[in-house]
């Protein structure tokens, strides 16, 4: 089997997949791509324009005007909206936490970001994490992972990160939307991260990579 060019890591909110993906990318010399930040950037831009995130037509119209770029810096992609580099303060703000699942269910937003994500493969080895990476964005990848953790552990992680986030509600919306819901991709290796240390979880992914 050829070495994978994209390692896909999906899972629910706060399952630990971002930390795992970042370290797996560092260990392999690949580029880490956090696709949740792309949906968050789009959401931030939609809110900046004053659009109601629950109104799909308004989201579609304001998202169409957004210029989104993904420059690579220090081994990971950043998100740039209309020329402005966004940081943690914008991407993880409470309003964005509340609205992101609404924006992410709009098919036109997804189509656009999926195309952007596929184009990143030209950069070299990617470790890309999200909700639909193994199921929709790169279904042919031979290295697909699904990182799970119990709801209690995930809610506690979000609180420890200082976020007032309704993880369960976000998961409900992400798993029940019509377009590309969160699923365990066909052929994905499932890792339960409820009781693993970060090192153990990273090692579990590395151990399961096709040679
Ligand atoms: O990974 P995260 O929790 O930062 O993602 C934020 C939201 O973005 C998540 O609730 C659903 C959406 N998302 C998505 O729909 N598809 C992806 N590939 C990544 C994130």
Residue with tokens 């050829």: 2
Q: Is the CB of 13 under 6 A from ligand 1?
A: yes
Q: What is the pTM of this model?
A: 0.94
**What residue ranges define each of the domains in the chain, with the CATH number in brackets?**
3-207 (3.40.50.300)
Encode pLDDT of 19-66 as tens digits. 999 999 999 999 999 999 999 999 999 999 999 999 999 999 999 999
Q: Mean pLDDT over all residues of the chain?
A: 93
Q: What angle do CA 38, 15, 60 make, to 5 degrees?
A: 25
Rounded to whole angstroms, how far apart are CA atoms 39 and 44? 9
Q: Is the CB of 12 under 6 A from ligand 1?
A: no
Q: Is the CB of 40 under 6 A from ligand 1?
A: yes
Which residue among 174, 179, 185 has the greatest number of ligand 1 atoms within 8 angstroms of its CB, and so is best to mutate?
174
Rounded to whole angstroms, how far apart are CA atoms 22 and 128? 9
- pLDDT of 2 > 80? The answer is no
Encode pLDDT of 160-192 as tens digits. 877 666 778 888 888 999 998 999 999 999 999
pLDDT of residue 165: 67
Q: Tell how far CA 32 is from the center of its chain.
A: 11
Residue with tokens 């953790």: 149
Q: Is the CB of 170 under 6 A from ligand 1?
A: yes
How much distance in Å is there from the Cα of 39 to the middle of ligand 1?
A: 6
Rounded to whole angstroms, how far apart are CA atoms 146 and 103? 23
Q: Identify whether the C-beta of residue 111 lies closer than 8 Å to the C-beta of residue 63.
A: no
Q: Is the CB of 90 under 6 A from ligand 1?
A: no
Encode pLDDT of 53-62 as tens digits. 999 999 999 9
Mean pLDDT of all residues in 67-72: 97
Residue with tokens 């690579």: 72
Rounded to whole angstroms, how far apart are CA atoms 203 and 100? 31
């Amino acid at each position: 089997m050829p070495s994978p060019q994209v390692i896909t890591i999906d899972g629910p909110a706060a399952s630990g997949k971002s930390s795992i993906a970042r370290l797996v990318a560092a260990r392999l010399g690949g580029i880490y791509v956090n696709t949740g930040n792309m949906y968050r950037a789009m959401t931030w831009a939609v809110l900046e324009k004053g659009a109601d995130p629950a109104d799909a037509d308004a989201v579609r119209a304001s998202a169409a005007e957004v210029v989104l770029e993904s420059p690579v810096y220090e081994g990971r992609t950043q998100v740039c909206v209309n020329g402005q580099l966004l940081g943690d303060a914008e991407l993880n703000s409470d309003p964005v936490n509340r609205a992101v699942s609404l924006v992410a269910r709009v098919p036109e937003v997804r189509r656009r970001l999926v195309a952007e994500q596929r184009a990143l493969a030209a950069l070299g080895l990617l470790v890309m994490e999200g909700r639909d990476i193994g199921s929709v964005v790169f279904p042919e990848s031979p290295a697909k992972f699904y990182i799970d953790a119990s709801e209690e552990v995930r809610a506690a992680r979000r609180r420890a990160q200082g976020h007032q986030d309704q993880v369960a509600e976000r998961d409900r919306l992400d798993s029940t939307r019509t377009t590309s819901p969160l699923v365990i991709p066909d052929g994905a290796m499932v890792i339960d991260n409820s009781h693993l240390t970060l090192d153990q979880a990273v090692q579990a992914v590395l151990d399961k990579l096709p040679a």
